[in-house]
Amino acid sequence: MERRQWGPRAAGGAAFATALTVAVLPVASPSAPHTDAKPTFPSRVAGYSYLTGDVASSPSGRAVALFQHGFGVEFLDPPQAVVIGAGGDSYRRVGVAEQRHGGETQGDPGPMLLSPDGAHVAVGHHDTTSPDVALVDLATGQTRYLPVPGGRSVIPLAWSADSKQLAYISAAEPTNPYTGVANSSPVGILEPTSGQARLLPGLRAQAIAFSPTGSELAVQAEASGDPVEQAPARPGAGTKGAATKVEIVGLDGRTHRSLTLPLGHSLDGPNAWSPDGALIATRNDAWSCQQLDGDYDEAKVQACEERREATAFVDASGGGASTPTPLQGGVAGSHGVLGWTAEREVLVLDDLPAPIDSMDDSKSVRAEDTDGRWLTAVSLEGSAARRVSAVPFDDNYGIGTFQVASTLLPGLTVREAGEVDRGRWPTMLRVGLAALFAGAVLLVTKRVVSVRASR
C-alpha cells in the first residue's frame, strides 16, 4: 500500500519542482522597451494592480516616472513603488524600495528618488546601522549597494541634471517622515559611477536642488515660517512671520549667496531650479485656508485652496530680477513642481477632476467613486495649460510620491495609453501557483492510482 503512494508523490514533487523552476528563475521581459527608444508618456496612468512584477525579475528599461501607489494605513492595498517605462506601457515595482519600509513609514516604501535620465532609482533608509544607497538599474534590474558616510538614516534628496551626482542627508538618529518634524541633517554627495561619497562639512539641509550645471546646490536648512497668526504652530515650523532663507552653495559646501523666499514658502523639491538657471520654484506651506473656529465648511476650504498662491518663483541670481506670476492651487495642485517641460513651463500634478475609464486592468471603477488627477504642463507666461496624463486617485488606491525623469521632459510626447505590460507576476504569487499546480497533480494522480487499484 505504501508503495502505491510513491507514484502520486513523485508526480506531485516533479510538477512542483518544474513549476517552481519556471516561476523563480529570472528571465528578461520580452516586451521590455529598448533604452534608446524615444521617451513618451501615456495619456492615462494605469490603475493599482496586485499583478505588477518586480523590476528585478522583469527589467523595464529606463522610466519616465516613479510613484507610490496605495497607502499602508488602508486595507488590502499594500503600498507599491512603481515605475512607468519611458518607451511603452510597462509598469514595474521597485522591490528594493518596498523592502526598505519600517514601522516609521506606516508600510510605505523607503525614501526613493528617480534619476533625471530615468535609468536608476536611488533608495535610502529611515533606520539603518549601515548607511548606504541602494541604486537600482532599471535596464538590468540589478541593485548596487553603495556605502555612504552618515548616521542612522539616508535620505536621497536631489540628483544633478546629468545623473552623475546624488545629494543626500543622513541624520544621527533614525528619521520618521510622519512626525511633522523637518529632517534637517548633514549633507553628503555620492557619485554613483565611482561609488565615492563624502559629507560637506558644516552643511545641513532638509531640501536640496542642484543647479542645471551641477556646480551649485540650493539648500534649505530650516522649515518655512507660517505667516498665518491664527494657525497652530506645526512641529518643525520656523518662527511665525519669518521668511525662509535658501543658501546657494558650491560643491565644497561654501556659501555663494543667500535667497529670501516668499513668506510661508519652502524650496520646491529636487527639480525646483529652472533649466536656464534663472528661477527657483517655491511651495506654499502656509495654513491660510484652515478653518479653526466654527463649523468646518469643506466647500469653502476647497475654494480657498484653489485660489491661494501655491507655487511662487524667486530670482536664482539674488539680483532682484522680475519673476513669473505665482501659480494658484487650482492650477498647480498640492504636489509642487515635478519638473520643467521648457524653460518657462512646469509639469504639475493638479487637483482637477480627470476622467477615468469605467474599467481598468485591475478593478472596476465607477465614475462617481473616482475623479482622478491630471499631470498638467503649465506655462509661466500666461499660455493655456496642457493636460498630459490622467492619474487614478481615490480613497483606496491613492497616489503618494510622484516623480518624473526631469531631463526627459523637454519635447516629451504623449501617446494613447495601450495594453499594460506588468512583467512577470510577483514571486510569491508565482510560487503559490506552483504549489497549487503541484497539489492538483498530486490529487489527480492519487485518484487515478486509486481507481486502477480498485479495478
Lookup result for grid cell 505588477: 52
The HSE-up count of residue 409 (CA atoms within 13 Å, CB side) is: 29
What is the SS3 assignment for 352-386? CCCCCCCECCCCECCCCCCCCEEEEEEECCCCCCE
Domain ranges of the chain: 1-25+439-455, 28-423
Sign of the C-alpha dihedral, residues 327, 332, 334, 339? Answer: negative
The whole-number pLDDT of residue 298 equals 73
For the domain made up of 28-423, the CATH class stated in words is mainly beta
Rounded to two decimals, the pTM is 0.82
- CB 211, CB 218: distance < 8 Å: yes
445/152 Cα distance (integer angstroms): 55
- CB 78, CB 132: distance < 8 Å: no
Indicate the angle between helix axes 2-24 and 427-454, nearest 10 degrees.
160
Compute CA 315 distance to the chain's CA centroid, rounded to the nearest angstrom.
28
- CB 421, CB 90: distance < 8 Å: yes
Q: Which helix (H) or strand (E) holds 343?
A: none
Q: Cα 174–178–405 angle (5° rounding)?
A: 90
- Over residues 290-336, the pLDDT tens digits come to 665 666 777 787 788 888 889 999 999 999 899 999 998 888 888 88
Q: Return the closest-CA partner of residue 321 out of 281, 282, 273, 278.
A: 278
The three three-digit cell numbers of residue 112, written as one number: 526613493
Q: Which stretches within 297-336 are classed as H helix?
A: 298-307, 329-332
63/87 Cα distance (integer angstroms): 8
The whole-number pLDDT of residue 323 equals 95
- Over residues 194-229, the pLDDT tens digits come to 999 999 999 999 999 999 999 999 999 987 654 443
- CB 197, CB 207: distance < 8 Å: no
- Over residues 166-193, the pLDDT tens digits come to 999 999 998 888 776 667 899 999 999 9
DSSP for 86-134, please give it: SSSSBEEE-HHHHHT--GGGTTPPPSEEE-TTSSEEEE-BSS-SS-EEE
Give the mean pLDDT of 267-293.
87
